[in-house]
Amino acid sequence: MALRISHQFFCLQLIQNITMAVGPIVQYHQNSKYYSARPPRPNKQVDNDLPHMTIQMPVYKESLEAVLYAPFVLKYVLSLLTTSCLSHV
């Protein structure tokens, strides 16, 4: 039974991968409501009327080590110590 299911899964994956490789890709070359594949043509009248503005975005200067690595290692070491202390009791 398990062998039959694994064959079915393999065949479905194979068919799906082939279909995705040669399937329709026109949506990747056309603009839609939510996806911009091609930039709009320049329009001098509209471009000249736009105000000059700068968009400011926050920059986070914290390192990955300070945010993720150090707290994780601290909790991991504490859990190992707790586990080792409990196993000796």
Q: 62 near 70, Cβ under 8 Å? A: no
Q: Mean pLDDT across the chain, nearest whole number? A: 81
Q: Please tell me the distance from the alpha carbon of residue 66 to that of residue 77, in angstroms, as a whole number.
A: 16
- Look at residue 13 and tell me whether its pLDDT is greater than 70: yes
- Look at residue 38 and tell me whether its pLDDT is greater than 60: yes
Task: Name the pLDDT band for 5 (thresholds 50, 70, 90).
Answer: low
Q: 14 near 7, Cβ under 8 Å? A: no
User: pLDDT tens digits for 58-70?
Assistant: 777 777 777 777 8
| Model confidence, pTM | 0.29
